[in-house]
Amino acid sequence: MEMQRRSLRIEDGTELSYLEGGRGTPLLMVHGWSQSAHGFAGQFEAFSQNRRVIALDWRGHGHSSKPETGYRICRFAKDLFEFIKRLEIAEFDILCHSLGTSAFWAYLTMFGIDRAPRKLVFVDEPAALLARPNWNEQTRRDAGAIIGSFEMLSQFTDNVRKSGTVQAHMEIMRPMFTSAYPEENLRLVAEDNLQLPRHHAATLLEDNCLQDWRNTIGQIRNNVLVVAAEASPHPLQSQEWIAHQIPGAQLEVISEQEGGSHFMFMENPARFNAPVVKFLGEG
């Protein structure tokens, strides 16, 4: 399936680029931190068989314009709202990966659960990345708080600001893939990621890590599929917790042997696509 590159301008003048192809009920796909719509290349053929697939580049990412402001989760949620409005799509499903999921949870908070798509696919994003000092170990693991302190967060964002070369960014990304993922493929991912300027990448990462979406998740009553990965840096318990909070939610866990990393949809597209296609086709 050949995806067409298009763009539209939202209210603050930012040009949002996106890939579009296929026919049917729209499936909106939103990527994670520093990624781009191109990261979903392994999904386009499978998903566009019965869907109009629309894969967005967030502001600053991929082919979208690079304004100097707006690298906050709440602004991304507003961008998503304006993007959907400009496309004039009233009924759609959504697949969100990593930070894209956080932005969608902000969308629900700002614009209401009743404005949510019918079917939601959440891919490997915890409810809260930064541990609070008064949290016990159980709370930390349920939330997925892999960053133990503000000092650790500051060190992480400092490393991101300094990761302006492909090699430096590869070092940041390497723990998010299994050891079997080819080095040349990781290099291509890093090159794509560097389209987001590093100072904006650090600002956005910090803002995402400060969020706590546990209350929002507990209010979701839509049809939800949570896709988790055995070898992801995010604890499996955090994804199990999310699925448990949403009545009727399904949980799909991809093993390390099957390419089950934070980027399982890149490492093993067929294994990732099958349960998503099944879920989207149900009901």
- pTM for the predicted model, two decimal places: 0.97
Q: What does the pLDDT look like over 187-224, one tens digit per residue? A: 999 999 999 999 999 999 999 999 999 999 999 999 99
Rounded to an integer, what distance in angstroms lies between the CA atom of residue 225 and that of residue 87? 25
For residue 130, the 8-state DSSP code is B
Tokens for 194? 């560097």
Q: Is CATH 3.40.50.1820 correct for 4-281?
A: yes
Q: Where are the beta strands (DSSP E) in 98-180?
A: 119-123
Q: What is the pLDDT along the chain (283 residues), one digit of tens a residue?
A: 689 999 999 999 999 999 999 999 999 999 999 999 999 999 999 999 999 999 999 999 999 999 999 999 999 999 999 999 999 998 999 999 999 999 999 999 999 866 678 899 999 999 999 999 999 999 999 999 999 999 999 999 999 999 999 999 999 999 999 999 999 999 999 999 999 999 999 999 999 999 999 999 999 999 999 999 999 999 999 999 999 999 999 999 999 999 999 999 999 999 999 999 999 997 5
Between CA 257 and CA 265, with CA 262 as vertex, the angle to 5 degrees is 75
Which pLDDT belongs to residue 113?
A: 65
Tokens for 232? 């992801």
CA atoms within 13 Å, Cβ hemisphere of 163: 25
Rounded to an integer, what distance in angstroms lies between the CA atom of residue 157 and that of residue 197? 13
Q: Where are the domains of the chain?
A: 4-281
Rounded to an integer, what distance in angstroms lies between the CA atom of residue 123 and that of residue 228? 6
Do strands 15-21 and 4-9 pair parallel, antiparallel, or not at all (unpaired)? antiparallel
